[in-house]
Amino acid sequence: MADAVPESAPAAPTARRTVRLKEVAARAGVSINTVSRAIRAPATVRPELRRHIEAVLDELDYVPNRLAGGLASAHTGVVGVVVTSLLYSEFAAMIEGLQGGLARGGLSTMLANSHYRPEEELRLVRTMLSWRPAAMALIGIDHHPRVPELLLHAGIPVVELWETGDVAIDSVVGMDHAGVGRAQAGHLLEQGYRRIAFVGGVRPHDHRAQRRRDGCVALLAERGCEPLVMTAAKGGTADLGETLLDRLLQKAPDIDGIVCNSDVIAFGVLRGLIRRGRRVPEQVGVIGFGDNEAAACMQPPLSTMRPPRAEIGQAAAAAVLTRIEGGPAIRRVFTAELIARSSTAREAASAGTGTATSSIREIKS
């Protein structure tokens, strides 16, 4: 399985041969300071000299030491990002947007994963703060109770992503998840479904999922429908979707609409319905959340909610940049888009491919 690779591998971390500003300065015949300025403020160095220094820099393959630089200048240009999960591609596009936006502003990103564990989140925030980051970004608005005070105490810009609520540490950029749940249920009602259930995996600390569930339940109650909920305290998978469907059908065989907490859950639900001979969308309507890349390839194509992930990430990056430059904290709420496909098209059950996208829906004030 594993065998040594002798050549090309330093037997032990090489006997410290790092190039410092000092070496560059000596080689270029100037002071350390001048080299430093040639790097950070080229305009303050005579063009001719500057080019000379740059040549030496290149020749010696100089890599600055940001630990030293950061220590001396008290600002680092890294942004600490704490996410609750890297899997399920739930946040990938958002993080990518955030990272891209920050990079354009000259900031690096340090990513850590709390796996939906508050204790872990606290630990990670402490670790990141120990790097004296220029700012911090966190997923969600529900944190370990000590996190907000720690962050506030650090005196740096903070942005909370993905979810929005009433209280904010600093800036917030996200969606109203309760509104997503309402929109899902609302769409099924509009399509004429009446006996509607919420199905999905809801992890103990996934507050976003809980809010979607609550939003769905609330709307159903308002409209006089008895809300049904069938969840499990774990992450969503297709198999879980099918399992929950089973339980649901046992409890309520007359169900005709299913709001899923994620597209992946919906995939399993669709598979289960087909196996059990229920026709979608004629007998049962199904709507997911997330706009998974496979949703449009299901049979029937799955209706879902598309969260503007990249936009949220980019807006969060913009918020950080603004704040670093002394601007105000920002609160921005994006709207998820309803993608109505065949899986909820009870009226026009023969309509065909159903790739059409409905107009953008306002989720909540």
Name the residue nearer to its own copies (CB basis): 139 or 220: 139
Using the minimum distance from each CB to DNA, give the nearer residue, 65 or 89.
Answer: 65
Q: Which does 292 bind (CB under 5 to 8 A by kind): its own copies, DNA, none?
A: its own copies
User: To the nearest whole angstrom, how small is the minimum distance from the Cβ of residue 47 to DNA?
Assistant: 9
The nearest distance, CB 213 to DNA, in angstroms, is 44
Q: Please, which residue, 22 or 234, has the CB nearer to DNA?
A: 22
Stretch that binds its own copies, among 198-206, 210-218, 225-233, 296-304 (CB under 8 A): 296-304
Question: At its nearest, how many Å lie between DNA and the CB of residue 325?
Answer: 16
Structure tokens at 234: 């774990």
Q: For residues 216 and 239, is the Cβ–Cβ distance under 8 A? A: no
- CA-closest candidate to residue 81, choices 146, 171, 158: 158
18 versus 350: smaller Cβ distance to DNA: 18
User: Site residues (CB under 7 A) for DNA?
Assistant: 18, 20-22, 30-34, 36-37, 39-40, 44-46, 49-50, 64-65, 68-69, 71-74
330 touches its own copies (CB under 8 A): yes
Q: Which of 26, 32, 110, 229 binds its own copies (CB under 8 A)?
A: 110
Residue placing its CB nearer to its own copies in the complex, 25 or 225: 25
DSSP summary character for residue 225: P
Q: Shortest approach of its own copies to residue 136 CB, angstroms?
A: 12
Report how far residue 111's alpha carbon sits from residue 108's, in angstroms, rounded to the nearest whole number.
Answer: 10
Q: Is 16 in the site for its own copies (CB under 8 A)?
A: yes
196-255 residues near its own copies, rule: CB under 8 A: 237-238
d(C-alpha 156, C-alpha 158), whole Å:
6
Rule CB under 8 A: say whether 157 interacts with its own copies: yes
Options 31, 40, 51, 87; binder of its own copies; rule CB under 8 A: 87
Examine residue 122 and tell whether it contacts its own copies (CB under 8 A): no
Q: Which does 189 bind (CB under 5 to 8 A by kind): its own copies, DNA, none?
A: none
E strands, 140-281, in order: 158-163, 171-175, 196-201, 228-232, 257-260
CA distances from 306 to 1, 9, 262, 263, 360 (A): 43, 47, 11, 10, 10
- Which partner from the list its own copies, DNA, none does 36 bind, CB cut-off 5 to 8 Å by kind? DNA
Least separation in angstroms between CB 305 and DNA: 46
> Residue 94, exposed/middle/buried by CB under 10 A (0-12, 13-18, 19+)?
buried
Neighbour count for residue 50 (Cβ, 10 Å): 18
CA dihedral 315, 317, 321, 322 (to 10 degrees): 20
Site for its own copies in 169-188 (CB under 8 A): 169-172
Question: Nearest distance from residue 128's CB to DNA, in Å?
Answer: 15
Q: How many residues belong to the site for its own copies (CB under 8 A)? A: 84
Q: Does residue 88 touch its own copies according to CB under 8 A?
A: yes
Relative to beta strand 337-339, strand 304-306 is antiparallel
- For strand 158-163 and strand 171-175, is the pairing parallel, antiparallel, or unpaired? parallel
Residue type, 262: S
**DSSP label of 280:** T
Output the CA–CA distances (angstroms, integers) from residue 279 to 176, 256, 269, in the order listed: 32, 10, 12
Which residue from 286, 331, 291 is spatially nearest to 309, judged by alpha carbons?
291
Which CB atom, from 31 or from 358, has the smaller least distance to DNA?
Answer: 31
Is residue 357 near its own copies by the rule CB under 8 A? no
